[in-house]
Each structure stands twice: as C-alpha cells, then as structure tokens.
C-alpha cells in the first residue's frame, strides 16, 4: 500500500503531460502560482514604501512559501526512487539531490533556514537575494525553459570552446592595447588588468566611452578587435540556434510518435 501511495504522489508531483485536468495538473498549477507570487513578492519587497506598509504580509508569505517548498522538496526526495534514474534508496536520492532540479529546490529553501542562524545584516541581504532561485523552479513546468536547459547540456562542449576563444581574444587584445596606449595615456591604460575593461566593452560592442585609444595604432588595432569581437560573440549564438533547431525537430518527431487522447489523456496506440 505504501508503494502504491508513493507511486501516486510521484505522479502527482510530476509535470502534467497530455491530460490538462485532474490532481496532477492542479498541483502543477498550484506550484507555478506560488512561484509566480514569490517572484512578485521579491520585486515588490524592493520598493521601500510598499515594504514599510506591508512588511508583515511579506514576512508571513515568506514563512508560508518556505514551509510549502520544504514539504515539496521532502516529498520529491521521498518519491524520487520511483524514477529509474534514482531507483537506489540511498545513492538514488543523493543523485537526485545533486541534479539540477534538486539543487534548485534546495536553494529555494536553504536561505530561509540559514538566515535564522545569523545576525549579520549583509549576509541576510545576500541570502534574501538567493530567493530568486525560486524563479528557476519554473524550468520544471515550462517547456521552453526545459528546451533551453537541454540545448545548453547538448552543446556545452561547443559553448565552452567559444568561451575559451573569447577569453583568448580578450587577453591578447588587452595586452597589446596596453603596450600601444600606456605611453600616451598612462593613467587610463595603467595596467593590463585595467585595460581588460576596454577589451570587454569593445568586444561586446558596448563602448561606454570611458576608456578608448587616442593613438593611430591604438585606433586601428581597436577597430580590428571590435570587428573580430562581433564574429566571436556570434559563435555561441550560432551554436545555440542550431541546437534549438535540432531540439525542436526531435520534439516534433516524439510528439508524432506519442499522441494523447484529448478526453481521457491516455496515450494513443
């Protein structure tokens, strides 16, 4: 009986697929609604006038949210062994706790409990900032966010490679620009670390205008780096675009294979 109840709880907490009614769907809507309300509360809490007037409401809602998400986390930790990936009663649960979803669920509640063991105002403010992780819980229920997560996992090697190229270009450009401009602007281009800021704003095409070359060689080199930066920044964009296209095509094929009845929600043969 325990196994049957545990299995039912597992399916209730899982993301609703096919059938858009029933307990599973209602629980999904409830969790998403509380996540959305938490997001609104975090935003409104930053407004001083609203915070002063509704401080007790914010505190009560934070306690309610922490208890709600704690119960959800404990239930997910209990029923995760129903999933083949986490079948082992000990190692399976540890594997779930270190998964992306498990870490997000833990970070959504951990700051609330840690804040009760410290009086450091600065630390408490940082812990409050971590409440933003509750927003990432949407990724479990919103298909678009799951697609983004899947694409990043599939293309992580290519993305890391493009990041390495970007870092190399940044270091080389900043080093060369330092030696070209430091004689003319010793205060502005005082060191290679200081010149890194110029490299970041140039490669990303932001160009704040607070630091820029004045020599002819510096301007020519800066132009070359600006053009090269566009090409380097475009690399991860192209990688992600191709990943999205592949993921969407795979998803379409899976949907054609697995069709659900619009009335009962069961998979059609």
Distance CA 51, CA 128 (A): 14
Residue 269 confidence (pLDDT): 55
**Residue pointed to by tokens 């990041």:** 163
Q: Which residue in this structure is represented by tokens 């890194």?
A: 196
- When pLDDT is cut at 50, 70 and 90, the band that residue 129 belongs to is confident
Enter the tokens of residue 174: 């900043």
Q: Residue 99, Cβ neighbours under 10 Å: how many?
A: 14
- What is the reported pLDDT for 245? 85
In the predicted structure, residue 146 carries a pLDDT above the cut 90: no
CA angle 130, 132, 134 (to 5 degrees): 105
Percent pLDDT > 90 in the chain is 27
Mean pLDDT in residue range 186-206: 90
* pLDDT tens column, 4-61: 888 888 888 877 665 555 788 888 888 889 988 988 988 888 888 998 899 899 889 9
Residue 23: count of CB within 10 angstroms of its CB: 11
Q: Is residue 157 scored above 80 in pLDDT?
A: yes
pLDDT band for position 182 (cuts 50, 70, 90): very high
Distance, first Cα to last Cα, the chain: 30
* Per-residue pLDDT at 266: 53
pLDDT band at 254 (very low <50, low <70, confident <90, very high): low
**Confidence (pLDDT) at 267:** 54
């Amino acid at each position: 009986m325990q196994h049957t109840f545990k299995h039912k709880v597992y399916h209730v907490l899982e993301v609703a697929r096919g059938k858009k009614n029933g307990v599973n769907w209602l629980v999904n809507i409830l969790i998403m609604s509380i996540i959305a309300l938490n997001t609104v509360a975090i935003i409104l809490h930053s407004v001083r006038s609203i915070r002063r007037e509704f401080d007790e409401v914010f505190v009560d809602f934070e306690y309610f949210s922490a208890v709600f998400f704690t119960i959800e986390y404990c239930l997910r930790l209990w029923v995760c062994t129903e999933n083949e990936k986490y079948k082992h009663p000990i190692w399976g649960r540890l594997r779930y706790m270190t998964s992306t979803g498990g870490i997000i669920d833990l970070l959504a509640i951990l700051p609330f409990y840690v804040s009760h063991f410290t009086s450091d105002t600065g630390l408490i403010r940082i812990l409050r900032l971590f409440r933003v992780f509750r927003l990432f819980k949407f990724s479990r229920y919103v298909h678009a966010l799951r697609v983004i997560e899947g694409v990043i996992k599939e293309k992580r090697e290519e993305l890391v490679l493009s990041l390495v190229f970007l870092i190399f270009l940044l270091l080389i450009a900043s080093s060369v620009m330092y030696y070209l401009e430091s004689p003319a602007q010793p205060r502005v281009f005082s060191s290679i670390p200081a010149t890194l800021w110029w490299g970041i704003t140039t490669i990303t095409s932001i160009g704040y205008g607070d630091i820029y070359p004045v020599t002819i060689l510096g301007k020519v080199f800066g132009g070359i780096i600006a053009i090269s930066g566009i090409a380097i920044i475009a690399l991860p964009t192209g990688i992600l675009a191709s990943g999205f296209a592949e993921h969407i095509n795979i998803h379409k094929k899976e949907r054609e294979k697995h069709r659900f009845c619009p009335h009962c929600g069961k998979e059609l043969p």
